[in-house]
Chain A
């Protein structure tokens, strides 16, 4: 794969990963989002996670819908193919793409409008199929590109920039995912890279649908006083329920964990997630109690963050469909066309 050694002008001191690539090889085009947008921090976290995981950029497929969040795949992994689909329909594109080529890593970026309003059905059905992909919702409670309407994730009592108060209860992506059978359900905050990067890594390595709802304030339309999705409000109200460390297969677990509070979960490829619980009674492998706990906290306006639920053994779409391990796009003509010799037997029943 000679393209790995293509000459590139880079600072000789830049750190290289296992593939010999630098962080710059994982960057994309210049962001055109507003200065200070939470989404750009998430983009940076994706770049860092992919660099540290030493994923071959061209073996990643980036998919998105419509909205500010859905623009961001253009800002990372420029050596990856991207698909900016229609509004709310990214899960369908990812499903078809994954059906055809299961060997790529799929990163989906969506927003609260894209996933919780126009695309709620597709979002739910992708989880129902346990589609193997990382799905990020860059959640800011507001429609940015159309200048400030509330989205379905806006909290009751939150105030719009133009002064309107939201009265309708929100749809919470984390609770929705738990109800729909999501197998990897996490929440984070664009301003907490320490938490977000290992979550992205774990989500990429999870075999199945990995949802990370990332609270990502909109500096232009939803960062004012009395907004519940502002930087200030989010910093005040988010609570890590679990601290997540991601450990690659060959690495040793170096950190010293308090035996009672830590649990490790092995992922499909042998890597480990180590969770340190901030709340003693929280069990991220019990869907029912996790749901109740998160809902209780939401009632108190607390956003629990971290890897809130994980189920590593659930079968993904391909297991359920008995699809060949080899990607369907790699099968040749002879593997697929039965040829004239098979035709008489097929046509017999029509005589």
Chain B
């Protein structure tokens, strides 16, 4: 349990909002977060929501952090308890010295109190019933009213809130006014009944200029648009759906001819994931940049075709926004549980390059990189994001685009190349890097060959010959070695010359970085590496080699990254110590800190 808070805490606390889903709380909570962001204070919002449309508990956690920490901290300083069903649990989650706000329209059981928590009752339903008409409006406005109360308690800038509402309801000024009225109702009630502000409060800073609040799925979709993607095929699945939704809306704006209404893209909603990946491979075979967004169950369904793409050497990009498995698992909760199934997806000897974005900025950058790699390497590429990155709003520096960048189409023979060529052998390794040359359909008859998942030789012809088969699969291995040097290099932070280090991946990054700062304050300085891609480059091997013990932090039960490191490097498994978090909520810095301190103690004792 975190320490009780004492003095003023400015721009450094956690607000958790407990709501019932389907009551419109999401937009109110996002208004609250954006207001703090617009006041120049670093903030991050995480949504813990059910796989349901209406009626189940949902939580939103806003971390205000002047130091720019982005992970969960394990604290709850202010709880807005709007869900009677979860009230008991919500109260117990508040850190000592914290504040709980509830709707006091109805009486609360005497048992539900805590000596060390300040409890503030606001008759939200009563206030809204008196001022708004219609059941739906009253439910929605309750949420906006508590944002108003928080504005008074935390000293938020009402002008900022007004401006945000004006932008949100630009086309419906009446709604903006009604929302602002609700803000004032909550604000005035709090000012009249409580001492405002609290010792926890927000003070304007200038740390969010040139930053945006964006989710990873939107950022990845933007990457697809900028990478020149023309074909998208998909089957709806949480939490990847918003990626294709975002791509579609970006395309409608930027890829539709204003005069003719013609689209320079084609999105197909497939009948299932098996078809979605087949469409992507068909488009990739033709020479278009094509992708599919999906999640774990979709990967399982796609695996036969992914093996085909590997063996027939067809570019494809698969965004796997990971959710909790196994099976249907918990579709709206986060995990990093597809690392192994992506790396070795499909039957037979197969291995696939994977990119691991850690935040929305990297979703944008790695989306572009993934298409270059897919075409350069002529193989399916995974981008392994997760629900935490994909669906939560992260504070990121404004995304940048270099106009000098051009796409890498890889080794594609032109009509002239084919005209000049004596013959075309599809799977022949001319350059010694394991990457053959390919021809696109419709370009030249000399480029024609039969793409197949059955045994084929270097010329591209059917074979069942032992030597010819081995020649092809051994070359695929050489290609994978080439891939290790083409994929993004790991990030290394050297803070000590010590022999103990931390290694992590993807969305663990923020929590690990905060834990390292906290450890540093205690005099424990550890080196850190975040792997950004598979296959692992030589730098990963070097890092493992120069440390005696490496804590491997990841969000799954089985230590999948650790297993992959053991499988794909020459490191001694005994050196790699797992720190695992897999309850479906994003990993927090507190659990890493605790595990490392515990691990170091154990190490010292041994």
Among A227-235, A266-274, A326-334, the stretch that binds chain B is A326-334
Give the chain B neighbours of A347 by CB distance below 8 A: 212, 214, 398-399
Chain B residue numbers with a CB within 8 Å of A284 are none
Contact B290 A96 (CB under 8 A): yes
**1/0 per residue A323-351: CB within 8 Å of B?**
11100110101011111101100110011
Contact among B226, B250, B262, B275 for A92, CB-based, below 8 A: B275
Given known A125-B271, A322-B262, A337-B226, contact A97–B441 (CB-CB < 8 A): yes
Nearest CB of A to B363, in Å: 13
Contact indicator per residue, chain A 1-13, by CB within 8 Å of chain B (1) or not (0): 0110000000000
Closest to B261 in A: A322
Q: Contacting chain A: which of B122-130, B446-454, B538-546?
A: B446-454
Which residue of B250, B253, B285, B444 is within 8 Å of A97 (Cβ)?
Answer: B285
Q: How far is the CA of A91 from the CA of B451 in the complex (A)?
A: 15
User: A61 on the interface (CB 8 Å rule)?
Assistant: yes
Q: How far is the CB of B244 from chain A (nearest CB, A)?
A: 14
Asked whether A343 lies within 8 Å of B401 as measured between CB atoms, the reply is yes
Q: For residue A92, which residue of chain B has the nearest CB?
A: B278
User: Known: A2-B419, A342-B254, A347-B399. Contact between A78 and B274, CB under 8 A?
Assistant: no
Is the beta-carbon distance between B254 and A83 smaller than 8 angstroms? no
Contact B441 A81 (CB under 8 A): yes
Which of B229, B264, B276 counts the most A-chain CB atoms under 10 A from its CB? B264
Which residues from chain A contact B250 at a C-beta distance below 8 Å?
346
Question: B282 near A: Cβ within 8 Å?
Answer: yes
- Closest A residue to B439 by beta carbon equals A81
**Does A146 count as interface, using CB distance less than 8 angstroms?**
no
Within 8 A of A (CB), among B402-451: 402-403, 406-407, 419, 439-451
Could you tell me which residues of chain A, from 92 to 123, have a CB within 8 Å of some CB in chain B? 92-101, 103-104, 121-122
Distance of B355 from chain A, by nearest CB (Å) = 20
Q: Is B5 in contact with chain A by the CB < 8 A criterion?
A: no
**Cβ–Cβ contact B228 & A84, under 8 A:** no
Complex interface bits, B261-280 against A, C-beta within 8 A gives 1, otherwise 0: 11111111011101111111
Count chain B CB atoms within 10 A of each CB in A73, A81, A98 and give the residue with the most. Answer: A81
Hey, which chain B residues are within 8 Å of A125, CB to CB?
Answer: 270-271, 275
* Complex-state Cα separation, A121 to B275, whole angstroms: 9
B267 / chain A contacts, CB cutoff of 8 Å: 321
B528 within 8 A of A: no
The interface residues of chain A lying within 8 Å CB-to-CB of B231 are 96, 99-100, 328
Taking a contact as CB atoms under 8 Å apart, the answer to whether A58 and B444 are in contact is yes
B279 touches A92 (CB 8 A): yes
Neighbouring A residues of B439 by C-beta, 8 Å: 81
Q: Which residues in B have their C-beta under 8 angstroms from that of A89?
A: 274-275, 278, 304-305
Q: When chains A and B are docked, how far (Å) is the Cα of A124 from the Cα of B233?
A: 17
Contact of B279 among A96, A103, A338 (CB under 8 A): A96
Is B264 a contact partner of A96 (Cβ separation < 8 A)? no
- Whether A340 contacts B446 by the Cβ 8 Å rule is no
B505 vs chain A, min Cβ distance (A):
25
Check if A58 sits within 8 Å of B274, measured CB to CB: no
Contact B288 A328 (CB under 8 A): yes
* B373-400 at interface with A (beta carbon < 8 Å): 398-400
- Contact mask for chain A residues 62-75; partner B; CB cutoff 8 A; 1 contact, 0 none: 01000000000110
Contact of B278 among A57, A85, A101, A329 (CB under 8 A): A85
Q: How far is the CA of A311 from the CA of B67 in the complex (A)?
A: 66
Most buried by A among B233, B275, B442: B442
Using an 8 Å CB-CB cutoff, how does the interface string of B244-268 with A read, 1 for contact, 0 for none?
0000001001111100111111111
- Give the residues in chain B near A98, CB-CB below 8 Å: 282
Cα-based distance from A333 to B400 in the complex (angstroms): 18
Q: Is the C-beta of A24 less than 8 angstroms from some C-beta in chain B? A: no
A109-164 contacts to B (CB < 8 Å): 121-122, 124-125, 129
Cα separation A329 to B268 with both chains bound (whole Å): 16
A338-B254 contact, Cβ under 8 Å, with A89-B274, A324-B264 = yes
Distance in angstroms from B365 CB to nearest chain A CB is 13
Q: Are B441 and A101 in contact (CB under 8 A)?
A: yes
Chain B residues contacting A92 (CB-CB under 8 Å) are 233, 270, 274-279, 282
Closest to B441 in A: A81
Other-chain residue from B280, B286, B401 in contact with A101 (beta carbon distance below 8 A)? B286
| Known interface pairs A96-B283, A99-B266, A333-B407; A104-B275 also in contact (CB < 8 Å) | no
Q: Is the CB of B266 within 8 A of A323?
A: yes
Please give me the residue from chain B that is nearest to A345 by CB atom.
B253
Check A81–B288 contact: CB distance below 8 A.
no
Nearest Cβ in chain A — how far from B417, in angstroms?
Answer: 13
Asked, given contacts A81-B448, A96-B268, A99-B268, whether A329 binds B440 with beta carbons under 8 Å apart, the answer is: yes
Q: Which of B226, B278, B406 has the most CB of A within 10 A?
A: B278
The answer to whether B74 has its CB under 8 Å from any CB of chain A is no
* Residues on the B chain within 8 Å of A101, using CB: 286-288, 441-442
A318 on the interface (CB 8 Å rule)?
Answer: yes
Flag A23-64 by CB within 8 Å of B: 1 or 0 each. 000000000000000000000000000000000011101010
User: Cβ of B516: which chain A residues have Cβ within 8 Å of it?
Assistant: none
A165 an interface residue at 8 Å Cβ cutoff?
no
**Which residue of B is nearest A329, CB measured?**
B287
Instruction: Among A84, A124, A328, point to the contact of B265 (Cβ < 8 A).
Output: A328
A321→B233 CA distance, assembly (Å): 13
**Nearest-CB residue, chain B, relative to A2:** B419
Residues in A with CB closer than 8 Å to B282 are: 63, 83, 92-100
- A86: contacting residue among B228, B304, B403, CB under 8 A: B304
Chain B residue, CB-CB nearest to A94: B282
Distance, CA A178 to CA B473, complexed state (A) = 44
Of chain A, the residue at the smallest CB distance from B450 is A82
Instruction: Decide yes or no whether A80 CB sits under 8 A from chain B.
Output: yes
Tell me if B319 is interfacial: C-beta within 8 Å of chain A. Answer: no
Q: Are A331 and B230 in contact (CB under 8 A)?
A: yes
In the complex the two chains form, what is the Cα distance from A331 to B286 in whole Å? 13
B233 touches A338 (CB 8 A): no
A331's nearest neighbour on chain B, judged by CB, is B264
Q: Are A350 and B263 in contact (CB under 8 A)?
A: no
Among A58, A95, A322, A336, contact of B228 (Cβ-Cβ < 8 Å)? A336
Contact of B263 among A91, A122, A323 (CB under 8 A): A323
Question: Which B residues are in CB contact (< 8 Å) with A121?
Answer: 271-272, 275
Nearest to B304 among chain A residues (CB) is A86
In the A-B complex, the 10 residue pairs with the smallest Cβ-Cβ separation, listed nearest first, are: A92-B278, A96-B282, A96-B279, A100-B288, A81-B441, A79-B445, A350-B212, A97-B282, A100-B286, A93-B282
Residue positions of A touching B, CB distance < 8 A: 2-3, 57-59, 61, 63, 73-74, 78-86, 89, 91-101, 103-104, 121-122, 124-125, 129, 317-318, 321-325, 328-329, 331, 333, 335-340, 342-343, 346-347, 350-351
Known: A57-B448, A98-B282. 15 other contacts (CB 8 A): A79-B448, A82-B448, A84-B452, A86-B278, A92-B278, A96-B284, A101-B441, A323-B262, A324-B257, A324-B263, A328-B288, A329-B440, A333-B228, A337-B227, A351-B213
6 contacts between A and B (CB under 8 A): A63-B282, A81-B448, A83-B285, A86-B305, A324-B263, A350-B218
